[in-house]
Amino acid sequence: MFTGIVEETGEIVAREQTEEGLRLRIGADEVATGLEHGQSISVSGACLTVERYAEREAQSASEKPSGDGPREEREARNASEEASGDEYRESWFEVFLASETVERTYLGDLEVGETVNVERAMPANGRFDGHVVQGHVDAVATVRDVESVGDDWFFEFTLPEGYDRYVVEKGSITLDGISLTVADVAHEAGTVTVAIIPTTYDLTTLSEKDVGDPVHLEVDVLAKYVERLLESRFD
């Protein structure tokens, strides 16, 4: 589980397309510290599993190998990357995107050099500063308008058909892994507006978003549970 409080933005430093899906290597200074093999991590709102990682302090191949694929292939890949030297002087982690994840998100369209929002799973003794975020992307929304008002920013998003019913004014919504409060929702138009403070704007990928850009949408899971309970009651 996540809370939608982005820890840092990571940079796509490598990508590898395979028959099974897509593997991304993401450079991240803070998040890569203290990771473990198999740990869940949110990448722009999509819950993925850490396959391997390297910490800057190690200055060497301290990554954890994935349990996937033939041993010879993993060893060959590790040897090739170790020979490059400089890659091991940066902190990074690798995640694998199955075909379903590629189809349901825009992560498969990202190129080397582009950035993503990153958050580690919430620890049992952590602060609950956002709201319940599962990391299960419901759909892809689109930036409809961006307006600067004083020091703040107002972003309007077009939601896929039917998702506006899960959104209420002053309720919570997750966009690209960021826990946000709904400032306004236009149900007939299928749009939602959120107000972004300077800190959120500067520390997330929202500062790079423009009209027409995609964002991952996760609606409040409580709204979906309530809908299902009501449906079952009146079936």
Q: Which two tokens stand for residue 201?
A: 């704007």
Q: Which two tokens stand for residue 52?
A: 């391997």
Higher pLDDT, 125 or 62: 125
Q: Please say if the pLDDT value at position 166 is more than 70.
A: yes
Query: Would you report the helix, strand and coil content of the chain in percent, each value rounded to 5?
Result: 25, 35, 40
In this prediction, residue 70 has a pLDDT band, given cuts at 50, 70 and 90, of very low
Compute CA 174 distance to the chain's CA centroid, rounded to the nearest angstrom. Answer: 10
Which of 107-121, 124-138, 218-232: highest mean pLDDT? 107-121
Which of 31-45, 58-72, 124-138, 176-190: highest mean pLDDT? 176-190
Q: Worst-scoring range by mean pLDDT, 25-39, 180-194, 203-217?
A: 25-39
Report which secondary-structure segment, H or E, holds 135: none
199: region left, alpha or beta (phi > 0 left; psi from -120 to 50 alpha): alpha
Amino acid symbol at 187: H
Higher pLDDT, 126 or 230: 230
Q: Which residues make up the CATH 2.40.30.20 domain(s) of the chain?
A: 8-120, 139-234
Q: Worst-scoring range by mean pLDDT, 44-58, 135-149, 151-165, 174-188?
A: 44-58
Q: Which two tokens stand for residue 105?
A: 């998100």
Q: Check: CATH 3.40.50.300 for 139-234?
A: no
38/51 Cα distance (integer angstroms):
6
Higher pLDDT, 64 or 153: 153
Q: Please say if the pLDDT value at position 19 is more than 70.
A: yes
Contact 142/42 with Cβ under 8 angstroms? no
| 224 phi/psi in degrees, rounded to 5 | -70, -35
230/232 Cα distance (integer angstroms):
5
Q: Please say if the pLDDT value at position 17 is more than 70.
A: yes
CATH topology of domain 8-120: Elongation Factor Tu (Ef-tu); domain 3 (2.40.30)
In this prediction, residue 57 has a pLDDT band, given cuts at 50, 70 and 90, of low
Which of 41-50, 75-84, 127-136: highest mean pLDDT? 41-50
Q: Worst-scoring range by mean pLDDT, 41-45, 65-69, 140-144?
A: 65-69
pTM above 0.85, yes or no: no
Q: Please say if the pLDDT value at position 56 is more than 60.
A: yes
Q: Please say if the pLDDT value at position 201 is more than 50.
A: yes
- What DSSP designation does 121 have? P
The 8 Å CB, 24+ separation contacts for 10-16 are 10/43, 10/115, 10/116, 10/117, 10/118, 11/113, 11/114, 11/115, 11/116, 12/110, 12/111, 12/112, 12/113, 12/114, 12/115, 12/116, 13/87, 13/90, 13/92, 13/112, 14/112, 15/110, 15/111, 15/112
Q: Please say if the pLDDT value at position 66 is more than 70.
A: no
